[in-house]
Structure 1
Amino acid sequence: MDRLDQPHRLLLVHAHPDDESIGTALTMARYADAGAQVVLLTATRGELGEVIPPALAHLTPDELGEHRTGELAAAMEALGVEDHRFLTRPDGSGYRDSGMVWLEPGRAAAGEDVDPRALTAADPEEVAERIAEVVREVRPQVVVTYEPGGGYGHPDHVRVAEATARALVLAAGGGRDGRDGGVVPWQVAKVYEVVQPAGELRAALRRLAATGAPGAADPGGPLPSVAVPDEEVTTVVDGTEQVPAKIAALRAHATQVELDLDAEVPAMRLSNGVPQPLGTREHFRLVHGVAAGPLDADGRETDLFAGVATS
């Protein structure tokens, strides 16, 4: 990919440390490599994540949050992303991980006890306005976040998807012209949701199951919300050259991710132990803006910034 003309600005909004590397690492590294300004906004420090390594199981939620903050910094270094920030409340404190429970492999939901400091316990409009402030500051042409189901149902992912959608409305119309100290609005040109084409995902799950990988999901079973009909996928980013950076970023998130790189089908595992195939492409659904070329053989965009005027 040729180096992009400046200034291209990409903002990704995620819920916890590791989400960015699992779902969008190839994209982040590709655009960072190309010279775009890549900004990651993370809503919480993941204090209630399920820790995989037994040696770290003793960490308290606050200690885990600090540890995961360090993991995220290492992952950003691996991806070449220099601008990372955590979402904060109006008083400067952070939002806390809301926690979750597994309903079944690949599908999560809210737990019974939610800390009053948690992201999902906060006023949704407040959360949206805090994201809108970042949008107005960064002035991205392109924003990436979750689809409405939050990928797999985690309540923080769902809240981030909802709040980001609302934030873009606030950022576009919620201010004066700035000459009297008011807020300068910013209209994002293109908004993408992270998705996976269901057909391709089932094919990858069949390959995993055929290898006898422990814990492999039923290829014919229910899929998480991130899986959408193939025809709804509008955009594919090829990150073949960025695979080493993604692997390094995933390794940095050792509390949350295990890698099976020597397996017949390379995969990663989260705390539920279900292997997920590692590919060389990331998929998106354009929900605001106009798709533009160049297109691949399936008629999908291959560049998030296609058709976007720089300013």
Structure 2
Amino acid sequence: MTGSAKHALFVHAHPDDESINNAATMAKYVAAGIGVTLITCTAGEMGEVLVPELEHLAHDQDDKLADQRKLELTNAMAEIGVTDHRFLGGFGKYRDSGMQWHEDGHAIAADTIHDNAFWNADLTEAADDLVAVIREVRPQVLVTYDQFGNYGHPDHIQAHRVATYAAALAAVPSYRNDLGEAHDIAKVYWVAMSESWMREGLRAMRAAGDETTFEGMDPEGQLPPFVTSDDNLAAMVDGTEFHEQKMKALAAHATQITTDGPFFALSNNAGSQAWGYEFYRIAKGEKAAPYDDKGLETDLFNGI
């Protein structure tokens, strides 16, 4: 491919993270002929299993969930049209680290994790796995999590660290020439969830009598750390045209997401805008026009 061709690279921790955060954006870019590459850092081996007949795949039983989640990811990407999706370093190199909940309401590392868990990965080695991809596909835009992994999950935090370090290393002309020609990514974004959007969605659900979805979240009270103040947002991609594809991608992750769960409940109450609009913070590069009426970029490629 040529250096002028538009290409976006998304770096996520587990299968399903990409559909929750970016499915509409990815579908929109695919439809526009923009290159999209998804890197998934683990196969989500430690995830819960919501399908009764597949419960035996869980990590505390047969420990065979990885292959199922790989299939679910393939099906989800087929729904939104992404054909270039890969596992960091190859399928199975880095294992899902698992997590537990802190009393303050955010995720932390589990008490016991596997030796090859992503949380234990050597940062330079994992970054080099991504440097090779960056130098191959040569994206202008990279999307990943913030430094807290949005809610504290160790694999999300590690994905942030790996993506950030890899983006820096990939741009150094004298670094690891065996991994390809140096490439500097113009813009780096962190996935985000708008505070005003989340409050509006919660109000709609509570008004409809739904008190169980996102239980404990008060639309007028303090919200969890994955919700971002609107003042910190830089971009909002309008992917409402691809809302149905996003819902199908979410449903494809059947062991992790149920169609009567919070993502679908929010969508049913707040309409296509619930998950069709996807928000971002800018971590590298400059905001650029065109902007929407709230001063947010309408495209992650603005100014490129």
For structure 1, which segment, 74-83 or 103-112, has the greater mean C-alpha deviation from structure 2 after superposition?
103-112
Cα distance in 1 for partners of 2:74, 2:223 equals: 31
Q: Percent identity?
A: 44
TM-score normalized with structure 1 length: 0.87
Contact kept in structure 1, 2:25 and 2:278, CA below 8 Å: yes
Following TM superposition, by how much is the alpha carbon of 1:175 offset from its aligned partner in structure 2, in angstroms? 2.9
In the alignment, what sits opposite 2:66?
65
RMSD of the alignment, in Å? Answer: 2.5
Aligned partners of 2:95 and 2:118 also within 8 Å: yes
- TM alignment of 1:267-306, pairs within 5 A: 278-306=274-302
Give how far 1:95 is off. Answer: 0.3
Could you tell me which residue of structure 2 aligns to residue 271 of structure 1? none
The 5-angstrom pairing of residues 1-311 of structure 1 reads 7-61=5-59, 62-88=63-89, 94-103=93-102, 107-173=106-172, 175=174, 183-213=180-210, 214-215=212-213, 216=215, 217-260=217-260, 266=268, 278-308=274-304
Between 1:11-20 and 1:168-177, the stretch displaced more is 168-177
Instruction: Give the secondary-structure state (helix, strand or coil) at the position aligned to 1:85.
Output: strand
1:28 alignment partner, SS class: helix
1:3 corresponds to: none
Deviations 1:80-110 (A, max 9, x none): 0010100017xx8510000011336963221
The structural deviation recorded for 1:65 is 0.6
Question: For the Cα contact (< 8 Å) 1:175–1:184, is it kept in 2?
Answer: no
Structure 1 runs not aligned, ≥5 long: 1-5, 269-276
- Distance in 2 (alpha carbons) for counterparts of 1:307 and 1:249: 30
User: Does the CA contact (< 8 Å) of 1:15 and 1:44 recur in 2?
Assistant: yes
TM (norm. structure 2) is 0.88
Answer yes or no: is the 8 Å Cα contact 1:205–1:219 preserved in 2: yes
On the 8 A contact 1:259/1:267 being kept in 2, the answer is no
2: distance between equivalents of 1:77 and 1:262?
Answer: 20
Tell me if the contact between 2:12 and 2:159 (Cα under 8 Å) persists in the aligned partners.
yes
Letter in 2 for 1:193: W
Q: Is the 8 A contact 1:28 1:81 kept in 2?
A: yes
Closer, same or farther: CA 306–12 of 1 in aligned 2, 3 Å: same
Q: Segments of 4+ in structure 1 off by > 6 A? A: none
C-alpha distance 42-212 of structure 1, shift in aligned 2 (>3 A): same
SS in 2 for 1:57: helix
Residue 23 of structure 2 aligns to which amino acid in structure 1?
A
User: Structure 1 counterpart of 2:233, which letter?
Assistant: V
Q: What SS is found at the alignment partner of 1:306?
A: coil
Letter in 2 for 1:211: A
CA contact 1:106–1:223 (8 Å) conserved in 2: no
User: 1:19-43, CA deviations, whole angstroms, 9 ceiling, x for partnerless residues?
Assistant: 0001100000000010011000000
**Structure 1 residues 199 and 263: CA distance shift in structure 2, 3 A:** closer
- In structure 2, distance between residues paired with 1:200 and 1:182: 41
Number of matched pairs = 292
Hey, which of these two has a bigger chunk of helix by percent? 2
Change (3 A) 1:211 1:96: same
Shift of 1:224: 3.1
Q: Distance in 1 between matches of 2:102 and 2:176?
A: 48
Instruction: Give the strand-richer structure, 1 or 2.
Output: 1
* Paired amino acid for 2:121: A
Q: Any gaps of 5 or more consecutive residues in structure 2?
A: none
Residue 227 of structure 1 aligns to a residue whose secondary structure is: coil
Indicate how the Cα distance of structure 1 residues 54 and 265 shifts in structure 2: closer, same or farther if over 3 A, else same: same
